[in-house]
Amino acid sequence: MFENLPEHPHIVVLTGAGVSAESGLKTFRDSGGLWEEHSIMDVATPEAWKNNPELVLRFYNDRRKQLDEVSPNPAHYALAELETKFNVHIITQNVDDLHQRAGSHNVIHLHGELRKARSERFPSLVYTLDHPEIKMGDTCQRGFQLRPHIVWFGEDVPMIQTASAIVKTADILLIVGTSLNVYPAAGLINHAPYGCRKYLIDPHETHEGSMYNLTHLKEKAGKAVPALLDKFLREFNR
């Protein structure tokens, strides 16, 4: 099945909200553009931050507290185990830390990290939080207000070039828990080499069309990813 692949393949994993949803984290797409009763335009745009920073901070403080109430699921743990056997990079659209808590180390966060804050004036000043709340008056070392370290709608995605370079070297590409509707993340799949073997894990019908070398596993991530891990271990005799 894996003929023409190197003995030590590079496996790249693109993950989205569906993986976190199986751990109990809600996504705004679950309710028609609302996220915990809030319109995305009110809490996830630069304009929202400018107009009502208190609301934005409160919203993400609540998300951070919710994160403490959930745990990684079997898909997260299977991906972490995969990393112990293969060269694996995870590129995630999720802002939670469930991949890391499961044991994964090579994780690229395209849309930021919920447990970090950054200066509203100097984006390179990023801080890991040791508490669940960012408050008005919390400032960076240069005296400017801290904001969530999240890539909001309308903002550039700083890690997209790094992610693209990683995908270009993939021998196997796993697409897990993402509808591939949010750009530029959705375009990453087009950067995979022609001969790259692709697996789409999604229980629903999708619009992947006739993408070359793609296998669609119509199951939830918590079931399909551990099964795929077992397949890889057998096929590569790990």
Active site residues: 111
For residue 158, is the peptide bond before it cis, meaning its omega torsion is within 30 degrees of 0? no
161: how many CB neighbours lie within 10 A of its CB?
Answer: 10
CA distance 40 to 97: 21
| 176: its two tokens | 């897990």
83: how many CB neighbours lie within 10 A of its CB?
Answer: 20
- Residue 157 sits at φ, ψ, to 5 deg, of -105, 95
- DSSP structure class, residue 169: T
- Residue keyed to tokens 């022609």: 194
| 238: its two tokens | 């790990």
- Residue 51 sits at φ, ψ, to 5 deg, of -80, -35
- DSSP structure class, residue 31: G
101: how many CB neighbours lie within 10 A of its CB?
Answer: 16
| 65: its two tokens | 């507290």
Q: How many helices (H) and strands (E) does the chain have?
A: 8, 11
